[in-house]
């Protein structure tokens, strides 16, 4: 599709249905948005020692993030330079070398070709040539341990790209008394049968929780009203579910910040669990390490979610990282990872896990209601003459009841899609 026809699909106040349903638009998005932006790959703690790797993907290109022998982190295309086979099928692991399962070419952990069977068949060919190594994305960079890659050789550097949203990462890292954060536990993966942007458009939608999550809000409140004693984690899980029953007035008071490149951030409507009395000693330790004023500010900065458009969203206060992996025009893989503050109490990390189980697990009583809404949007957009309306709150400050953050996403969408 040409640039002009793509740009005509998105206006300041509405979006054409084909943007969510047309495979040609989706292909263009992979090449013009995902292959140009900085996309989140993983956290350095996921590759703790030389040879550790995890799989990732950007713009439908399979990738590996691997810790090299020198301790550095590399991102490599997970594709054999011989005849293109996927080199590694496991999601994570540890190797001393990568060996292609097809014809056994082997590669060092930095991607350089180590050996091929029957090398005499390559007489006159330099097997040291870089084209025979596992290829690398042109740009890889990390911000405080969070690794991003760009498939484009040119563009803003990572810090510029993350402008405005870096504070969310700063907040997470500095809430660790040791200054260290790690990905811990497993990963929830949910494949949703809808376009990736429908998921993003729900990111700061304060108009839906009290509607979509109504089936779980009332039962949670009913259990909380019972006189029977509950474990602290059950109480916490119920409070997380019940918090979706906020009023429109509360949501209208939650600011949503807008940043360049489509990034956005919504203030939290759930309290930071670390403010509970149980964690007084942790807060005192943080005050000793960071200073009382900074520690207090870190505790009070309450972020529901910060969107690194287009590929990830971190929930800084609740320590969750969600990765958005578009697979087809109507299929998106969402990965939800939990973060642990190294040096903080284990019981605080249990809250992080409980929140993940409560809202991000495929079996959560919250998640399936969201997924049902996304799928209904995808189904409802079948007609090509349909338009999606994104005008709400266009004359107001950006809050959780405004669609300003969606308009901000589409400003970035148009910029990427119309770039030469």
* Residue 134 touching ligand FES (CB under 6 A): no
Residue among 211, 328, 203, 322 at smallest CA distance from 266: 203
From the CB of 102, what's the least distance to ligand FES, in Å? Answer: 4
Query: Which residues touch 345 (CB under 8 Å, ≥6 apart)?
Result: 279, 281, 282
Ramachandran sector of residue 355 (left: φ over 0; alpha: ψ -120 to 50; beta: rest): alpha
Residue among 273, 258, 272 at smallest CA distance from 307: 258
Sheet of 331-341: strand order equals: 181-192, 331-341, 320-328, 312-315, 303-308, 264-267, 256-258
Q: How far apart are CA 47 and CA 385, in angstroms?
A: 47
Q: Which of 91, 97, 103, 391 binds ligand FES (CB under 6 A)?
A: 103
* Residue 35 touching ligand FES (CB under 6 A): no
From the CB of 325, what's the least distance to ligand FES, in Å? Answer: 24
Characterize the bridge pairing of strands 387-389 and 113-115. Answer: unpaired
Q: Which of 41, 58, 76, 80 binds ligand FES (CB under 6 A)?
A: 80
Q: Between residues 108 and 368, which has the closer beta carbon with respect to ligand FES?
A: 108
* Residue 85 touching ligand FES (CB under 6 A): yes
Q: How far apart are CA 85 and CA 71, in angstroms?
A: 27
* Residue 99 touching ligand FES (CB under 6 A): no
Q: Between residues 121 and 227, which has the closer beta carbon with respect to ligand FES?
A: 121
Q: Which stretch binds ligand FES (CB under 6 A): 66-74, 102-110, 156-164, 246-254?
A: 102-110
From the CB of 76, what's the least distance to ligand FES, in Å? Answer: 14
From the CB of 342, what's the least distance to ligand FES, in Å? Answer: 39
* Residue 100 touching ligand FES (CB under 6 A): yes
How distant is the alpha carbon of residue 54 from its chain centre?
Answer: 15
Q: Between residues 126 and 277, which has the closer beta carbon with respect to ligand FES?
A: 126
* Residue 294 touching ligand FES (CB under 6 A): no
Residues that bind ligand FES (CB under 6 A): 80, 82-83, 85, 100, 102-103, 105
């Amino acid at each position: 599709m040409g640039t002009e026809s793509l740009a005509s699909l998105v206006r300041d106040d509405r979006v054409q249905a084909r943007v969510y349903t047309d495979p040609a638009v989706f292909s263009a998005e992979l090449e013009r948005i995902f292959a140009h932006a900085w996309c989140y790959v993983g956290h350095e703690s996921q590759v703790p020692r030389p040879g550790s790797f995890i799989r990732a993907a950007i713009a439908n290109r399979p990738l590996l993030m691997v810790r090299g022998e020198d301790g550095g982190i590399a991102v490599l295309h997970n594709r054999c330079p011989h005849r293109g086979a996927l080199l590694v099928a496991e999601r994570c692991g540890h190797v001393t070398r990568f060996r292609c399962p097809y014809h056994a070419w082997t590669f060092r952990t930095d991607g350089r070709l180590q050996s091929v069977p029957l090398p005499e068949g390559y007489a006159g060919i330099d097997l040291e040539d870089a084209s025979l190594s596992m290829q690398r994305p042109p740009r890889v960079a990390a911000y405080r341990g969070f690794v991003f890659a760009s498939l484009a050789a040119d563009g803003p550097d990572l810090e510029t790209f993350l402008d405005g949203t870096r504070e969310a990462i700063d907040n997470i890292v500095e809430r660790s008394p040791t200054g260290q954060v790690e990905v811990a536990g497993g990963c929830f993966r949910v494949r949703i049968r809808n376009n990736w942007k429908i998921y993003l458009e729900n990111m700061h939608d304060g108009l839906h929780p009290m509607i979509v999550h109504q089936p779980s809000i009332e039962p949670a409140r009913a259990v909380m009203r019972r006189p029977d004693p509950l474990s602290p984690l059950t109480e916490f899980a119920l409070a997380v579910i019940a918090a979706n029953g906020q009023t429109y007035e509360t949501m209208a008071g939650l600011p949503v910040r807008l940043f360049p490149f489509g990034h956005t951030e919504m203030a939290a409507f759930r309290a930071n669990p670390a403010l509970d009395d149980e964690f007084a000693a942790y807060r005192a330790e943080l005050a000793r390490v960071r200073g009382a004023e900074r520690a207090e500010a870190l505790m009070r900065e309450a972020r529901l979610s910060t969107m690194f458009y287009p590929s990830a969203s971190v929930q800084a206060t609740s320590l969750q990282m969600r990765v958005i992996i578009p697979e087809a025009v109507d299929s998106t893989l969402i990965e939800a990872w939990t973060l642990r503050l190294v040096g903080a109490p284990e019981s605080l990390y249990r809250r992080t896990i409980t929140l993940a189980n409560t809202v991000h697990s495929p079996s959560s009583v919250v998640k399936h209601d969201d997924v049902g809404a996304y799928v209904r949007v995808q189904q409802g957009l079948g007609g090509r003459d349909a338009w999606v309306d994104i005008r709400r709150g266009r004359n107001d400050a950006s809050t959780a009841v405004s669609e300003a953050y969606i308009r901000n996403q589409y400003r970035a969408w148009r910029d990427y899609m119309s770039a030469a």
